[in-house]
Amino acid sequence: MVTMPIVTLTSDIGLQDFVVGAIKGQLLSVNASFNIVDISHFLSHANYFQAAYICSNAIKFYPANSFHLVLINVFENSNSHFLFIKHESQFILCPDNGIATLIIGKMPAEVLKIPIDTGSTLLQITHTLARFINAVNVQDYSAFLTTYRFKDIVEKYPLRATTGQDWMEGQILFIDNFENVVVNITFQEFEQQRRGRSFGIGFAKSDVINKLSNNYASVTDGDYLAWFNSAGYLELAINKGNMAGLFGLQNYSEKMQELGNPSQNKWFYQTVRVYFDV
């Protein structure tokens, strides 16, 4: 397809040292025409659900045939290979640690295996990935299917809200810089469970929101609001306030799920429950 390809870069590396700059240098040394775009470098290496929320909702807005390099917890498993996935006209490169299926929400139809020398450093890995991106950009993607096709990948899937007759409960996916809280309840899921009933959204022991807003201007300064954000997920906030900090709300993490529920109070503040009138 020989273009000046867009290559997005998302990682858990941060921006405190040289590594992100060096990775970009590796990409440009392979092809100086790469158009490199940062999505985020502050993913949590321990919270794949949050990482998937950020990646999936950014990637879908890019032009067709963009390449998305996702570097999260690269060395959790053997780094003998990376995955190269075509999904809805986008190409995703990521470690084989479950992040792929979390981002796209299902088993990808087409997966390529990019061999990586065991023991490679992060910069050596990204140089290999850069060369693979460049090769696919020069040739047709289908030319790589026979040689690199792969199916046996690590699978993890997004958390789903749990429901009962008169309630639904979601986990906190993401807390932004303003401490607004995003919950894994979509508008469609909410309306299907609501069925026209009145509701209350509980986010602390005695605080409830019982209406939806269109935007932050819908309430006065300091008031609570609930709305469905541009990604279609339930978001709770205080207009010009800090919802998460004020109420001790925390991201729901996979590690916490594995450890169980050591503290009922902690569990409560990583989930949000919606109650419906019977």
pLDDT in tens, 131-146: 999 999 888 888 888 8
Span 144-162, pLDDT tens digits: 888 888 988 999 988 889 9
Q: What is the pLDDT of residue 158?
A: 82
Could you give the residue range(s) of every CATH 2.40.30.90 domain in the chain?
Answer: 162-276
162-276 is classed CATH 2.40.30.90: yes
Q: What is the pLDDT of residue 203?
A: 74
Cβ burial, residue 262 (10 Å; 0-12/13-18/19+):
exposed
> Between 204 and 12, where is the model more confident?
12
Q: How many Å separate Cα 277 from the centre of its chain? A: 33
Q: CATH number of 6-148: 3.40.50.10790, 3.90.1150.10, 3.40.605.10, 1.10.1740.10?
A: 3.40.50.10790
As given in the structure block, the two tokens for residue 214 are 């269109």
Span 171-209, pLDDT tens digits: 999 999 899 999 999 999 999 999 999 999 987 666 789
Which residue matches tokens 């479950």?
A: 98
Q: What pTM did the predictor assign?
A: 0.85
Could you give the residue range(s) of every CATH 3.40.50.10790 domain in the chain?
Answer: 6-148
